[in-house]
Structure 1
């Protein structure tokens, strides 16, 4: 009995020593080591699920129908540099003033994109286009959004005062009401679809319901398009996590995105600060959150839930 116990203990010790040796000598970049961290970064990510992806994304065009005042200029600065290092073309639409083109213009846009070959990253300020209905292969739809009140405040102050990056299309609207008068009196920009600004980018063009203010069905349609058509929607509040997820989901386009972000830290925000900011009162924020932008928040929280689910799937964690 004693001899059996000694042999058992010896076997366990030998197995433990072998496993320890394998752990030490196995190459760090092998599939054996599933968890790794970026140097001094805010996030870590587990690559187990990422390794199951069967495509690097270069088989399709990436279409970024970018929402205004949601960090698109920062993301595009990174994309342009990645286009050189990852060998893909970056195109920006020359039409910067028509978020809601006519039916003929929409089909022209869809047909033009359908005739182009990947790898191509295309961006434009434009509401959702129905590629399926037009019989054109769906691109990799992506976008990035922002907490609704923060986005509204930034946008309102931008069109009224501009930013350090230069003039805006159509000129400044310095005659606009004080931002709190706009909200509390529901006048000017606060009586328009600016209260469902982000939602309109996903509700889309050619859907009459999207123009019906205070109709909750338009938020539902926006969510339907998000779930069925969009590969990914990031959050400006979690920009680094957004870049990490883009590296995982579209490595053929976004490999090295975090490195580009870190290596050009001096470029951040310097040109994008609004020159002046009118501050929303707590009363105005409450009215926006619970009344004027209620549908906008429905869409935002749905996107945020999807974003958090992807973080859990790839075990992206703050540290």
Structure 2
């Protein structure tokens, strides 16, 4: 895939002691979340954005600090938002929740909710997700293969899917980054409009302590360790070791192919819209 420009890792400007008010809403600051017992960290992130790596860090580093680490992956009788709401209501210690749920405002409670996330080049993420759904990774290849075979997905390459204008490039998928932060389910038509783009930017500015970029994962970990030491103290050292281990390698998507130039050109407008949001 051709090299493209990425936004610099940005921390909410409130962390630099600037005006806390924007659009009439108080933004989170380090002072707001300094008590570990009050901290309820929601890491809501799109798939294929390095989320399992951060979850692994939270499990290994956060638990050393007494953090209750949860996820919303294998749900049966409740939705993701219901589980997060229940955990929020019941929590009495510092909590870290990993979820692929889009933004939902849980700040209506008296609890101190902290949102963090990470984004990835939108086309790179889409390609990785496309091949992951078909070939998975090497963590549980047999189990994953059975699950994917039941979905009966096309084995076309992503380039072939783009060429035939297939479902891999429908507007809901292409605008997924924006709809995720907007807080609207991406299968709704309003998820791709100007309102959603504006709302997504407002939510990131007002609600998120930090949104990192996957292309600077090391920087993201360092920022988290500085801003949330009660959860991530020691994360940088652990991550540097983790990157050399077998599990880190087997989490990578199998059989992912680089895009041809003509596919990149076809997806150029969607990429620009997403990058406009990411470079806000």
When normalised by structure 1's length, the TM-score is 0.68
Deviation at 1:156, TM superposition (A): 0.9
Change in CA separation of 1:215 and 1:239 when aligned onto 2, cut-off 3 Å: same
Deviation at 1:149, TM superposition (A): 1.5
Deviation at 1:215, TM superposition (A): 1.9
More off after superposition, 156-165 vs 184-193 = 184-193
Q: Is the contact between residue 41 and residue 116 of structure 2 (CA under 8 Å) also seen in structure 1? A: yes
Aligned-residue Cα RMSD (Å) equals: 3.1
The alignment status of 1:156 with 2:130, answered yes or no, reads: yes
Structure 1 match to 2:216: 238
Structure 1 match to 2:8: none
The alignment status of 1:66 with 2:45, answered yes or no, reads: yes
Structure 1 match to 2:159: 180
Deviation at 1:163, TM superposition (A): 1.3
Q: Secondary structure in 1 aligned to 2:54?
A: helix
Provide the C-alpha distance between the structure 2 equivalents of 1:237 and 1:97, rounded to a whole number of angstroms: 34
> What are the superposed Cα offsets for residues 30-87 of structure 1, whole Å, 9 maximum, x if unpaired?
xxxxxxxxxxxxxxxxxxx79x954546232111112100011111111111123222
> What are the superposed Cα offsets for residues 117-144 of structure 1, whole Å, 9 maximum, x if unpaired?
2311111111111224x44535110111
When normalised by structure 2's length, the TM-score is 0.76
Question: Which of the numbers 106, 116, 127 marks the counterpart of 2:102?
Answer: 127
Q: Secondary structure in 1 aligned to 2:267?
A: helix
Q: Secondary structure in 2 aligned to 1:159?
A: helix
Q: Secondary structure in 2 aligned to 1:275?
A: coil
Which structure has the larger Rg over C-alpha atoms?
1
Provide the C-alpha distance between the structure 1 equivalents of 2:248 and 2:208, rounded to a whole number of angstroms: 27
Question: Which of the numbers 104, 118, 140 marks the counterpart of 1:144?
Answer: 118
Query: Structure 1: which 5+ runs fail to align?
Result: 1-48, 303-319
Counting matched residue pairs gives 247
> What are the superposed Cα offsets for residues 214-262 of structure 1, whole Å, 9 maximum, x if unpaired?
5233111111111111111111111111111001111111111111112
Provide the C-alpha distance between the structure 2 equivalents of 1:226 and 1:213, rounded to a whole number of angstroms: 16
Question: Which of the numbers 148, 172, 190 marks the counterpart of 1:171?
Answer: 148
Q: Secondary structure in 2 aligned to 1:280?
A: coil
Change in CA separation of 1:128 and 1:53 when aligned onto 2, cut-off 3 Å: closer
Change in CA separation of 1:214 and 1:163 when aligned onto 2, cut-off 3 Å: same
Q: Secondary structure in 2 aligned to 1:75?
A: helix
